[in-house]
Chains A and B, each alone.
Chain A
Amino acid sequence: MKRTPLYQAHVDAQGKMVDFGGWEMPLNYGSQIEEHHQVRNDVGMFDVSHMTTVDFKGAEAKKFLQVLIANDVDKLKTEGKALYSCMLNETGGVVDDLIVYYLNDENYRMVINAGTTEKDIAWINTQAQNFDVVVEPKLDLAMIAVQGPNAREKVFAAMPGVEEVAGDLKPFNAANLGGLFIARTGYTGEDGFEIMLPEKSAEFTWKMLLEVGVKPCGLGARDTLRLEAGMSLYGSEMNDEISPLEAALTWTVDLNDEDRQFVGRKALEKLRDDGVKKTIVGLVLDSKGVIRDHQKVVTILGDGEVTSGTFSPTMGKAIALARVPMGTTGSCEIEMRNKLVSAKIVKPPFVRNGKVLV
């Protein structure tokens, strides 16, 4: 199994190490629920070094990305500005979801998922053949996400010089400091930074963050936090066969520029014209029990399926994202342990910035 540069730090902190798509990663360091609350109420950090950074450089970097991904990088005009997007195949299915950062018209940085890295790089290289662009996977970068209402303050305290370059960053913007790339982004619904840094600096930086009281949090808490925040997970809410239009990600698809023929556009337009039949909604269970992935959802308009189900530590009840027939509202039933249990349909996010929204 692959290990990040922080592997030993996890073991030293009693991390419960599990196989996460071929990476040996910490699920928790004791209690996943405590780690969840830690991020909602104060600050926690995650090792996300298994994710992959890819740089795009060259005269046609912009032109290429306008074809490669469904959102339009033309929206990015200032250095460090970030954009969330899906990268589609010809049938409109999602190859991966990603964040792309603008550095200048000839230089962009992208962060893609760990589990899809090989597939993504192969796909990107195939698409890049007729463009003047160099695709450069940065496999020697580590990444630490520091998240929570006190995240920024703690990062400034632990890492000299960061406040000067990142103190005024607006959400979804990034700044450089030497070999550091500091983005005010995250996957928890809380404020914070995702910090990309050279592998050899990872352990030192992790220790400095520990010193100022940032608690390590595992992938278990990362999943309950992102689910409360209503954020999609590749492989759950969308995959190669599901388009963003069927995953409540229409807002990430930019069809405004009619001349921009990005990969999958024709398929999406056909799907839109034929009528999108499915979407993702949020579910809240008021009774006991935990909603689990792949449970059957029964609605008046037809059956659906839970794409991500969990117990929400912030709400104290089970929540889920589910794929249901388009237009489903009100309530539904979930087949749980051979019983049909009633659940409320809501519009995610469930929780943002510490507050319950549903």
Chain B
Amino acid sequence: MSEVRDDRQYTQTHEWILDNGDGTYTMGVTDHAQALLGDMVFVEVPSVGDEASQEDEFCVVESVKAASGVYAPADLEVTEANEALDDEPELVNSSCYDDGWLVKFKADSIDGLMSAEDYEDTLD
């Protein structure tokens, strides 16, 4: 069974988004997604200060199986990128909700996110 955490929200494309409460958000891929993709071998994250429009592909996670784009959930500006993933892309597998986060960004608001409960329902 995939782990879903109820302290955060989810996208239909299997990313999680955590509201940090200071106008910034942290984003990563869900346990379901990492299990489906298999061992990560490369993670491409944007640079701090990069801006992305909603639905822009702004990260790429690449596993033994496939390359998968991560899309901006809103118009945003990147405030931090997880550089540890450069050397240890496997953090996305071993710790997708903690050390394997992808980016932090500033955004006014994010629409269309699912609660943990709703996301869990989509996995059945």
Q: Is A213 an interface residue (CB 8 A)?
A: no
Give CA–CA (A310, B44) in the complex, Å. Answer: 17
From B62, B90, B93, A289 is in contact (CB under 8 Å) with: B62
Which residues of the partner chain B approach A337 to less than 8 Å between Cβ atoms? 60, 67
From A28, A292, A311, B41 is in contact (CB under 8 Å) with: A311
Q: Is A33 an interface residue (CB 8 A)?
A: yes
Q: Is A290 an interface residue (CB 8 A)?
A: yes
Which residues of the partner chain A approach B39 to less than 8 Å between Cβ atoms? 31-33
Which residues of the partner chain B approach A32 to less than 8 Å between Cβ atoms? 38-39, 64
Give CA–CA (A132, B1) in the complex, Å. Answer: 57
Q: Is A89 an interface residue (CB 8 A)?
A: no
Which residues of the partner chain A approach B38 to less than 8 Å between Cβ atoms? 27-28, 32, 220
Give CA–CA (A337, B64) in the complex, Å. Answer: 16
Which residues of the partner chain B approach A289 to less than 8 Å between Cβ atoms? 42, 62, 67
From B44, B64, B67, A224 is in contact (CB under 8 Å) with: B64
Q: In the complex, what's the smallest C-beta–C-beta distance from B92 to chain A, in angstroms?
A: 12
Give CA–CA (A170, B47) in the complex, Å. Answer: 55
A31 with B41: CB separation less than 8 A: no
Which residues of the partner chain B approach A119 to less than 8 Å between Cβ atoms? none
Q: Which chain A residues numbered 274 to 313 have a C-beta less than 8 Å away from chain B?
A: 288-290, 292, 310-311
B64 with A33: CB separation less than 8 A: yes
Give CA–CA (A311, B66) in the complex, Å. Answer: 10
Range class of the B interface residue count? 10 to 19
Q: Which chain A residues numbered 14 to 39 have a C-beta less than 8 Å away from chain B?
A: 27-28, 31-33
Q: In the complex, what's the smallest C-beta–C-beta distance from A314 to chain B, in angstroms?
A: 12
A290 with B93: CB separation less than 8 A: no
Q: In the complex, what's the smallest C-beta–C-beta distance from A19 to chain B, in angstroms?
A: 15
A220 with B64: CB separation less than 8 A: yes
Q: Mark B28-60, 1 if CB is under 8 A from A, else 0.
A: 000000000011011010000000000000001
Known A28-B38, A288-B44, A290-B42; contact A311-B67, beta-carbon cutoff 8 A: no
B44 with A311: CB separation less than 8 A: no
Whose C-beta in chain A lies nearest to the C-beta of B69?
A337
B93 with A31: CB separation less than 8 A: yes
Which residues of the partner chain A approach B66 to less than 8 Å between Cβ atoms? 292
Whose C-beta in chain A lies nearest to the C-beta of B38?
A32
Q: Mark B68-98, 1 if CB is under 8 A from A, else 0.
A: 0000000000000000000000100100000
Give the most central of B39, B60, B90: most A CB within 10 Å.
B39
Q: In the complex, what's the smallest C-beta–C-beta distance from B81 to chain A, in angstroms?
A: 15
Which residues of the partner chain A approach B64 to less than 8 Å between Cβ atoms? 32-33, 220, 224, 290, 310-311
Whose C-beta in chain A lies nearest to the C-beta of B43?
A288
A290 with B67: CB separation less than 8 A: yes
Which residues of the partner chain A approach B62 to less than 8 Å between Cβ atoms? 288-290, 311
| Known pairs A31-B93, A33-B64 / 14 extra A-B pairs, C-beta < 8 Å | A31-B39, A32-B64, A220-B38, A288-B42, A289-B42, A289-B67, A290-B41, A290-B64, A292-B66, A311-B41, A311-B42, A311-B62, A311-B64, A337-B67
- 24 A-B pairs within 8 Å (CB atoms) are namely A28-B38, A31-B39, A31-B93, A32-B38, A33-B64, A33-B90, A220-B38, A220-B64, A224-B64, A288-B42, A288-B44, A288-B62, A289-B42, A289-B62, A289-B67, A290-B41, A290-B42, A290-B64, A290-B67, A292-B66, A311-B42, A311-B62, A337-B60, A337-B67
Q: Which 6 A-B pairs have the closest CB atoms?
A: A311-B41, A33-B39, A288-B42, A290-B62, A32-B39, A31-B39
Interface residues of A (CB under 8 A from B): 27-28, 31-33, 220, 224, 288-290, 292, 310-311, 337
